[in-house]
Structure 1
Amino acid sequence: MENSKNKFSNWLKNSITARMMVVGFLLLILLIPLEFVKELIRERAVRQAEVVSEINGKWGNNVLISGPIIKIPYKVLKEETNFNEKDKTYYPTTSEIIKYAYFFPDSLKIDSDVDANTRERSIYESVVFTASIAMKGTFPKIDFSALDILPENIVWEKATVLIKTSNLRGIKTTPSVRINSLDLAMTPQYSRDFLNTIQSGFIENAQELFLNENKFSFNLKINGSESLRFLPIGKETDVSMRSNWNSPSFDGNFLPEDTDNTIKKEGFTAQWRILQINRQFEQQFSEKLPDLKEFSFGTKFIVPVDDYQKSERTAKYGFMVIGLTLLVFLLIQLVSHIYIHPFQYVMIGLALVMFYTLLISISEHSDFFMAYMVAAAAVLALITIYSRAILNGWKFPMLICASLASLYGFIYVIIQLENYALLVGSIGLFVILGIIMFASRKIDWNNG
């Protein structure tokens, strides 16, 4: 029995195949704590999203706003047939139903100045803004003929003007719409439509007013976060946006005109011009407004560096880092004939896993580059000193230190890239494979 144990122990120590199997098994075992680290990163990212959402909710969420829309009710006669129980006969009845017609501006010009800054809570931060929005344009002469509505059925005395927005909470000034010289105070209205509604009171002499073209203007100051977007409801919609934020992300159904879009260190300016032919809806609707959010456009105000996303991308290379490092130790063991115990492989692997916990914890209190450098330096120092005790000298530990430093540097470059990450990563892995093949060419693999 004792002889069998000695034979198995000698086989583990002397057989290349056995040592490769042990290292491969330990690599798989080390994936367990690596997955725990990845889950920790995801949990911290979710926590960040919750805190940011709470900050934004109190300040004001994303802002989506339309220009002024004319809303005019009209009567529709509805004929029904009812059954009389007494004489057992059917008789027709006519009832009157109120519906609404909506008319969009011919021209809509929007100027917005956005003052953006960050709000912090503990270690988390969110981008919030205060936008000063000025709208002006012209309403067309109202024509119901295209909607097949008879003039006698129009309820002119109950005509109103409304504006759609996603963020009532963030409004910081009492809004009013001026049509020619008439000022209309706006109040919130209950709505089941696609956005919240602020609406004027009934407009006096609406028939006389809206049977001609009219100029309008509207000013609003509003707090928001995440994004500021507009609906292109004018036949011609011109939007300009200026902000002190230097990391905008233009999104939505339309992008700014390249000739007018500039992003500088002190902020950005952007301009859009959208014509009716560019979007797929009419200038007037009957019965109800459709959901037009899909045609919105504007700007997202984003934090330029998401450290949790970078940490997660870094952790995805954890398998490669651990695998290559253990492979380097295995090759050194085969070349130098120094026995490395499986426990020592586990300690080295756990030190490599600790890099990711150090990275995420330090990055929450510092910038990502500094966190990466500190975490990498700590792990390099630990593994170098530990391998000095294992390998009885400085030659191989310094080789390991240089290899691991190069690997960490290579990964940092990859995670900074976006469009060329796959290309650079593929070339880098090809070079690493070539180096390993070259280094292992003189190893006697016959001692299996």
Structure 2
Amino acid sequence: MSDSPTPAHPEGSGYDFARLVPQRSFGLKLILVCALALSMAVPAGFVYMIFSSRAANADAAIFDVTSLQAGNQNLLGPVIIVPYERDTVVSVNSVSNVSQVRTSTGHVLLYAETGTVAADLKTEIRKRGLQQVPVFTSNATFKATFNPARIIAEAPSGARIVWSDAKVLMNVSDLRGAKDAQLSIGGRALEMAPLSINRSDGNGQRVIGALLGWTEEPQAGPLQVSASLNVTGAQNVSFATFARDTTIDLSGDWRSPRFDSGVLPDTREITKDGFSASWHVPFLARGVPGAGADIWFDQLMSPGASLLNEASPYQSVERALKYAPMFIGLVFLTYFLFEVTIGKRAHPAQYILVGLAQVIFYMLLLAISEVLGFNTGFAIAAFATVAALSLYAGSVFASRAAMLKALGAFSVLYALIYVLLRQEDYALLVGSIASFLAIAGTMFMTRNLDWYGVGRSTIRREPEPDDDEALPDPA
């Protein structure tokens, strides 16, 4: 075997590209680590597919419950509907001077001058497999004051009011949930019954109501109406603004309501024992006339509340998955910093195992949260993942100090994930600041690193011997 030294590269022969191989160049190793972090989006995508399937199962459970009993409920307080007839000349025979008259029908819908609603919700949980669906029973009391004089004023010119067919109507959007309905006018009780009303657009609408028993135009003056509805439903309850000036008071024993029916309450209070909320919708804010022809109550504003299921983990897990690429990248960056500070290299395969462990974290989070709730699920999944990553770091870098540093760093990282998921309004701000600090810290820690180095594993490198200095004999 020849003892002749390896010939040096002649001057001008080009750059020594061997210095760029991952075993020797931290720069190329960082590029490889970034590529591996991005590649973890593939298994994370499969986890998201599993999440989507489980979320669809939850929606199916809700549909199952609401198909067997009532679903979302929108309640309408008392309104008065009065039919009319009107003759219209459609043609005239010029020879016989005989007119052809067509009789058309219509209605005048009269809303109350003032109306109040007082409702209380009693809730319970229905289970379908692992899924929980909140259902409720509501007792709602309505009071309304009408001005019958508006009927004549709003009827078309030449209309003949059919007073004997005048009705008072109420509505429950899902009539399967209607348990009891009572109505009285001026202290006189009326029996409510299911009705079908033909709308001007040709569609029918199912309501409940009663004949008023009028035979002629009612006497001038206010008409007092009171009513009550007992209904069951699921997830959401709302109340149409059935009067020109409507006040709604809603209370219940659910601890996590969301007021999302288009109108925020004027006052609200949420405690560990339940909630209460109040709305006042004046005539101008309602945006619908107080009376008129072909004005239907599906155009009305409907304040109300949704019953958010705190035990449902799907929204939080979905948000966690959206942050997965960033946090996988931060863990990879931590391992890379261990490489350049401790002086022992980690193989790309070890980075892949670390990335897969983090992907499995999201599967654990979803699976445990479905059974024990999100907070407990996150605690268990995070503890297991942090422990695995930290112990692995101690093994990879053969250092107990590296294990302890990894334990501290990854504990802070997963605590940050939890904070981001809990602080929905400030998640972007917190995440942006954390990402900036991570990159700034990396820049500071690697400020003296020779990215084109020849394999030195520490940031502060020892001076290399001069070309003219004799190297020590390895023997």
TM-score of the superposition, structure 2-length normalised? 0.84
> Aligned residue for 1:257?
266
- The yes-or-no answer on 1:222 pairing with 2:228 is no
Q: Is residue 138–residue 215 contact of structure 1 (8 Å, CA) maintained in 2?
A: yes
Alignment of 1:397-436 (within 5 A): 397-436=403-442
What is the distance in 2 between the residues matched to 1:139 and 1:237? Answer: 13
C-alpha distance after superposition, 1:106-164 (max 9, x if no partner): 22122212112222222111111100111122221334442354687111122111113
Task: Report the alpha carbon displacement of residue 90 of structure 1 after superposing the two structures with TM.
Answer: 10
Change over 3 Å in CA distance of 1:215–1:49 after alignment to 2: same
> Aligned residue for 1:369?
375
> Aligned residue for 1:189?
195
> Given residue 39 of structure 2, which amino acid in structure 1 is its aligned partner?
I
What secondary structure sits across from 1:116 in the alignment? Answer: strand
- The yes-or-no answer on 1:311 pairing with 2:311 is no
Task: Report the alpha carbon displacement of residue 408 of structure 1 after superposing the two structures with TM.
Answer: 0.6
Which residue, 340, 343, 356 being the options, matches 2:346? Answer: 340
What secondary structure sits across from 1:347 in the alignment? Answer: helix
> Aligned residue for 2:44?
34
What is the distance in 1 between the residues matched to 2:408 and 2:389? Answer: 11
> Given residue 195 of structure 2, which amino acid in structure 1 is its aligned partner?
Q
> Aligned residue for 2:32?
22
Which residue, 236, 253, 267 being the options, matches 1:244? Answer: 253
> Aligned residue for 2:175?
168
- The yes-or-no answer on 1:353 pairing with 2:359 is yes
Q: Is residue 83–residue 90 contact of structure 1 (8 Å, CA) maintained in 2?
A: yes
Task: Report the alpha carbon displacement of residue 45 of structure 1 after superposing the two structures with TM.
Answer: 1.8
Change over 3 Å in CA distance of 1:236–1:350 after alignment to 2: same
Alignment of 1:13-412 (within 5 A): 13-81=23-91, 92-149=99-156, 153-173=160-180, 175-191=181-197, 196-207=205-216, 209=218, 211-258=220-267, 261-286=268-293, 288-304=294-310, 306-412=312-418
Change over 3 Å in CA distance of 1:256–1:190 after alignment to 2: same
What is the distance in 2 between the residues matched to 1:122 and 1:386? Answer: 37
What is the distance in 2 between the residues matched to 1:177 and 1:373? Answer: 53
Q: Is residue 121–residue 138 contact of structure 2 (8 Å, CA) maintained in 1?
A: yes
Structure 1: gaps of 5 or more residues: 1-6
Q: Is residue 245–residue 283 contact of structure 2 (8 Å, CA) maintained in 1?
A: yes
* Range with bigger deviation, 73-82 or 26-35: 73-82
C-alpha distance after superposition, 1:12-44 (max 9, x if no partner): 322223322322332222210011112322322
What secondary structure sits across from 1:442 in the alignment? Answer: coil
What secondary structure sits across from 1:67 in the alignment? Answer: strand
Task: Report the alpha carbon displacement of residue 291 of structure 1 after superposing the two structures with TM.
Answer: 5.0
What is the distance in 1 between the residues matched to 2:442 and 2:270? Answer: 45
> Given residue 421 of structure 1, which amino acid in structure 2 is its aligned partner?
A
Q: Superposition RMSD on alpha carbons, in Å?
A: 2.8
Q: Is residue 84–residue 161 contact of structure 2 (8 Å, CA) maintained in 1?
A: yes
Q: Is residue 166–residue 195 contact of structure 1 (8 Å, CA) maintained in 2?
A: no
> Given residue 69 of structure 2, which amino acid in structure 1 is its aligned partner?
W
Deviating runs (4+, > 6 A) in structure 1? Answer: 7-10
TM-score of the superposition, structure 1-length normalised? 0.88
Higher-Rg structure is: 2
Q: By percentage of residues, which structure has more helix? A: 1
Task: Report the alpha carbon displacement of residue 365 of structure 1 after superposing the two structures with TM.
Answer: 0.8
What is the distance in 2 between the residues matched to 1:210 and 1:80? Answer: 35
> Aligned residue for 2:450?
444
What secondary structure sits across from 2:213 in the alignment? Answer: coil
Could you tell me the percent identity over the aligned residues?
Answer: 26
Change over 3 Å in CA distance of 1:152–1:363 after alignment to 2: closer
Task: Report the alpha carbon displacement of residue 361 of structure 1 after superposing the two structures with TM.
Answer: 0.6
Task: Report the alpha carbon displacement of residue 10 of structure 1 after superposing the two structures with TM.
Answer: 9.3
* Equivalences, count: 435
What is the distance in 2 between the residues matched to 1:110 and 1:130? Answer: 16
Change over 3 Å in CA distance of 1:351–1:68 after alignment to 2: same
> Given residue 444 of structure 1, which amino acid in structure 2 is its aligned partner?
D
What secondary structure sits across from 2:179 in the alignment? Answer: coil
Change over 3 Å in CA distance of 1:359–1:216 after alignment to 2: same
What secondary structure sits across from 1:422 in the alignment? Answer: helix
* Range with bigger deviation, 112-121 or 91-100: 91-100
Q: Is residue 355–residue 379 contact of structure 1 (8 Å, CA) maintained in 2?
A: yes
